[in-house]
């Protein structure tokens, strides 16, 4: 690791001002759980890091107009223990329990977990399924981006290099039920080989509307619209399996150290059906 400058701005505006859209060696750092590994491995050599940890008022969790609002520098472990989050969308808590380990969750932040854009992350698919959006601060002001539109590709977001995520907003779920299933293939605790998040509006076991998101096995997390259509109106295991079939046909899967695309396709088939079953609480 070579020397670099560390800036510790006190406000979000100052932080944004310290960034440079054209200089990839200047990056914001929050928990640093991913960035520090990249620096140790020598794949990222910063000239300047802009620490977000001294910024006040960016780590609150509250409900505003029925929506859950989470500050971007909220540590994942704080989110995990929040009653407000539990009441709003319990699936987030359950997901966090499977996310890495407590040492990482104690320092990794909500904003970082999104901005890093590693497809092998657990929160993004869940937040997409819940219809969440991020509020982003740039030099010219604020904009909101649905999490579903945040990811541009493998380790890439639509954020400009001088934009910062300031908060995450999860809309009211209005009785929708959600589940996230993480499938690992190399060890129990591992990056997911496949993540499947679903959120359903249902009457008993009859699905009226489903949001189905896959991640990790794909270049970026994303909804499977065909599978969502196939899930609509299903009431039982046979129907959920049909949704799984549709998902397997639709998802664009990649081969990597965690498995071949052909195998992951089979995992998608099985896990989408299982996730729908889990969301509905059916046996």
Partner 1 sequence: MATRTIGSGQVGRSVPRLEGAAKVTGRADYVHNIRLPKMLVGKIFRSTVAHGRIKSLNVSAAKALPGVYRVVTIDDIKTVIPNPFYGPAFHDQPILADGKVHFVGEPVAVVLATDPHIAEEAASLIEVDYEELPAVFDEVEAMTSKAVVHDELKPAGTFPDLKHLKGKKDTNIALDFHLRRGDPNKAFAAADHVFEHTFRSQQVLHVPLEPFVSAAELTETGLTIHTASQSPSFVRIEISRLLGWPENKVRVKVPYLGGGFGAKLYIKLEALVAALTLLVRRPVKISLTMEEQFYTLTKHAATFRIKSAVKNGKITGRDCEVWWNGGAYADIGPRITQKSGFTAPGPYDIDNVSIDSYSLYTNLTPAGALRGFGIPQLVWAYESHTDMMARALRLDPIEFRRNNILRDGRAQATGTQMKDAAVEQVLDRLALRMNWTAPFERGTGPVKKGRGIAVGFKASISPTTSIAIVNVAADGSVTLYCSTVDMGQGSDTANAQFVAEVLNVPAESVKVVHPDTDVTPYDMATLGSRSLYHMGNAVRLAAEDAKAKLSALAREVGVPEGSNVPVAELFQKKYKMQAGNIIGTGSYIPNYVPPDANGLTPEATPFWMVGGTGAEVEVDTETGHVRVTKMISVADVGRPVNPRIVETQLSGAATMQFGFTMQEKIELDGGQITNASFADYKIPSIVDIPRDMQNEAVESEQGTGPFGAKGVGESGTFGVSPAIANAIEDACGVRLTELPLTAEKVYRALREAQGRPLED
Binding site for partner 1 (CB under 8 A): 1-2, 37, 41-42, 183, 185-191, 257, 259-263, 266-267, 270
CB of 247 to partner 1, least distance (A): 14
Q: Which helix (H) or strand (E) holds 221?
A: none
Instruction: Using the Cα atoms of residue 128, residue 268, residue 215 and residue 105 in order, give the sign of their dihedral.
Output: positive
CB of 267 to partner 1, least distance (A): 6
- Considering beta carbons, is residue 71 or 259 the nearer one to partner 1? 259
Per-residue tokens: 159? 């954020």
- Considering beta carbons, is residue 77 or 261 the nearer one to partner 1? 261
Residue in this structure with the two tokens 């380990």, named with its chain if needed = 101
Burial classification of residue 87, based on how many CB atoms lie within 10 Å of its CB (0-12 exposed, 13-18 middle, 19 or more buried): exposed
Whether the CB-CB separation of 152 and 160 falls below 8 Å is answered with no
- Considering beta carbons, is residue 93 or 104 the nearer one to partner 1? 104
CB of 188 to partner 1, least distance (A): 4
- Considering beta carbons, is residue 177 or 274 the nearer one to partner 1? 274
Residue 164's DSSP bridge partners are 137
CB of 259 to partner 1, least distance (A): 5
Other beta carbons within 10 angstroms of residue 22's beta carbon come to 8
């Amino acid at each position: 690791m070579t020397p670099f400058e560390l800036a510790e701005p006190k406000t979000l505006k100052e932080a944004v001002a310290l960034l440079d859209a054209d200089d990839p060696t200047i990056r914001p750092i929050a928990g640093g759980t991913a960035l520090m590994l990249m620096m140790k491995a020598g794949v990222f050599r910063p000239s300047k890091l802009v620490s977000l940890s001294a910024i006040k008022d960016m780590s609150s969790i509250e409900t505003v107009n029925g929506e859950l609002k989470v500050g971007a520098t909220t540590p994942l472990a704080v989110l995990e223990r929040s009653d407000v989050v539990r009441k709003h969308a319990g699936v987030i808590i359950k997901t966090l329990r499977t996310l890495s380990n407590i040492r990482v969750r104690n320092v990794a932040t909500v904003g970082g977990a999104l901005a890093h854009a590693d497809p092998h992350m657990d929160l993004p698919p869940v937040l997409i399924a819940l219809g969440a959006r991020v509020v982003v601060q740039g030099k010219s002001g604020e904009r909101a981006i649905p999490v579903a539109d945040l990811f541009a590709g493998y380790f890439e977001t639509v954020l400009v290099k001088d934009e910062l995520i300031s908060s995450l907003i999860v809309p009211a779920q209005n009785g929708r039920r959600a589940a996230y299933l993480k499938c690992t293939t190399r060890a129990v605790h591992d990056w997911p080989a496949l993540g499947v998040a679903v959120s359903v509006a249902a009457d008993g076991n009859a699905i009226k509307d489903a949001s189905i998101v896959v991640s990790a096995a794909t270049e970026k997390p994303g909804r499977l619209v065909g599978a969502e259509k196939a899930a609509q109106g299903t009431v039982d295991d046979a129907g959920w399996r049909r949704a799984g079939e549709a998902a397997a046909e639709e998802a664009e899967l990649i081969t990597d150290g965690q498995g071949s695309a052909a195998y992951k396709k089979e995992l998608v088939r099985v896990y989408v059906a299982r996730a729908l079953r889990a969301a509905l609480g059916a046996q």
